[in-house]
Structure 1
Amino acid sequence: MTITNQDELDGLKEIGRIVANTMRDMAKAMEPGMTTRELDEIGRALLEREGAVSAPQSSYDFPGATCISVNEEIAHGIPGGRVIGAGDLVNIDVSASKNGYFADTGATYRVAPVLPSLDRLCRDGKRATQIGIAQVSSNKPLAGIGNAIGRFAEKRGYTLIRNLASHGVGRSLHEYPGEIATWPTRHDKRRINKGLVLTVEPFLSTGGHWAADGDDGWTLYSDPRAPVVQYEHTVVATDRGALVVTLPG
């Protein structure tokens, strides 16, 4: 989607705030002993209260209102009977629509106590996302996002999952300009047009390179196996840089 007027921006900001608040409140409610299904039901209720519709369910018939991935699960985890325990890494990914506008956000949370190395990974995962967002501006190269994230990851001794990309969003969950690499690439010559709506969501790892399919048809795992974190925002490209719409408020 390309934003062309204030009404469109207001509609995108509204759903951006809803998904951000939903993810924040799910994280606040999360505690050891809770199942991922119970956590998902909290998210479902929060979206319904705001008049929003789960995007994974409406777009892809996903068996949950949100995606919740624990430890070795790195994306698209199906909410179910898995019990969240102390020391777990839990990724919460919330995407939804309202009044024809879609927004997408995600973050990895730590259930205390966790290893210092995982604390560092989470801090650097957030930083990688901010570095990518800083590359979003009118007429800048799309490849600049992944190239900047790649430089940071290499400097800090991390790897990036190279088949889970950022994407266009706004009028649907996945749309133009399609996949946007969050890892270094040489051949993408596309540029960012003013008003473009996209996600920035690198998957930073201590050794993983690819997302591999699990047996359930949805859940993805690191290949090779290694801790992975993801932090995601929906942003709008402007002449002054990126406008982040998935902020709680």
Structure 2
Amino acid sequence: MTITKQGELEGLKAIGRIVADTLQAMAKAIEPGMTTRELDDIGRVFLEHAGAVSAPQACYDFPGTTCISVNEEIAHGIPSARAIAAGDLVNIDVSASKNGFFADTGASFQVPPVKSDLTRLCRDGRRAMQIGIAQVGSNKPLAGIGNAIGRFASGRGYTLIRNLASHGVGRSLHEYPEEIATWPNRHDKRRINKGLVLTVEPFLSTGGQWADDGDDGWTLYSAPRAPVVQYEHTVVATDRGAIIVTMPSG
């Protein structure tokens, strides 16, 4: 979507805060022994109380309120009876709608005791997202996002999952521009129009190149197998750069 009115921005900010607060509540609740379904239930209750609707459920009939991916799972993990264990790497992706506006956010978390290599990967995954967001602004090249993230990743010895892209969002969960590379792409000549709403969500890895389908039709795995982290914000392009709408209220 392209924002043209202040009311649209306010509507987007409202759902942005809700998904951000939901993600924060779920992250704080993670503890060894709980199942991913129990963690998803926390997100479900939070969204329901806020009057928001799970986007993956409403748009794609996803079998959960949020996507929760653990260790070898890198995206679209189905909440289940899988128990979270000490030392696990857990990714939570929350997207929802309210009053016709959609927002999408996500982050990866370590369950203590933390591992130094994963701590570095998480820190740099968040930094990669921030570097991508810094490339968002009116009339800037869309490919600038992936080019900047790619320089950062290669300079630190990381790889990027190259078939999980950022996307337009706002009036639906996925809309134009439907695929925004978070890796270097010489062929994309599109420019970012003022008011464009999009996600920035690189998948940073210590060796993974692609996301492969699992047997359940939803869960994705790294190929080759390697740790992967994802951090995501929904942003709006302006003349002064990006407005991040998926910031928690507290």
TM value normalised by structure 1: 1.00
Deviations 1:14-43 (A, max 9, x none): 000000000000000110000000000000
Deviation at 1:178, TM superposition (A): 1.0
1:189 pairs with 2:228: no
* Separation in 2, partners of 1:226, 1:93: 19
* Separation in 2, partners of 1:113, 1:230: 20
- Find the counterpart in structure 2 of residue 56 from structure 1: 56
* Separation in 2, partners of 1:114, 1:221: 22
* Separation in 1, partners of 2:238, 2:83: 42
* Separation in 1, partners of 2:163, 2:149: 15
* Separation in 2, partners of 1:52, 1:115: 35
Unaligned runs of 5+ in 2: none
* Separation in 2, partners of 1:129, 1:210: 18
* Separation in 2, partners of 1:113, 1:208: 24
SS of the counterpart of 1:40?
helix
1:132 pairs with 2:132: yes
SS of the counterpart of 2:65?
coil
Q: Between Structure 1 and Structure 2, how many residues are aligned? A: 249
* Separation in 2, partners of 1:122, 1:156: 13
* Separation in 2, partners of 1:101, 1:36: 27
* Separation in 2, partners of 1:32, 1:178: 37
RMSD: 0.3
Deviation at 1:114, TM superposition (A): 2.1
- Find the counterpart in structure 2 of residue 121 from structure 1: 121
SS of the counterpart of 2:42?
helix
- Find the counterpart in structure 2 of residue 112 from structure 1: 112
- Find the counterpart in structure 2 of residue 84 from structure 1: 84
- Find the counterpart in structure 2 of residue 156 from structure 1: 156
* Separation in 1, partners of 2:116, 2:51: 40
- Find the counterpart in structure 2 of residue 8 from structure 1: 8
* Separation in 1, partners of 2:151, 2:42: 38
1:94 pairs with 2:94: yes
The code of the aligned residue for 1:173 comes to: L
Unaligned runs of 5+ in 1: none
The code of the aligned residue for 1:150 comes to: G
SS of the counterpart of 1:62?
coil
Deviations 1:48-105 (A, max 9, x none): 0000000000000000000000000000000000000000000000000000000000
Deviations 1:143-190 (A, max 9, x none): 000000000000000000000000000000000111000000100000
- Find the counterpart in structure 2 of residue 223 from structure 1: 223
SS of the counterpart of 2:198?
strand
The code of the aligned residue for 2:216 comes to: D
The code of the aligned residue for 2:65 comes to: A
The code of the aligned residue for 2:14 comes to: E
SS of the counterpart of 1:178?
strand
Deviation at 1:238, TM superposition (A): 0.2
TM value normalised by structure 2: 0.99
* Separation in 1, partners of 2:109, 2:230: 10
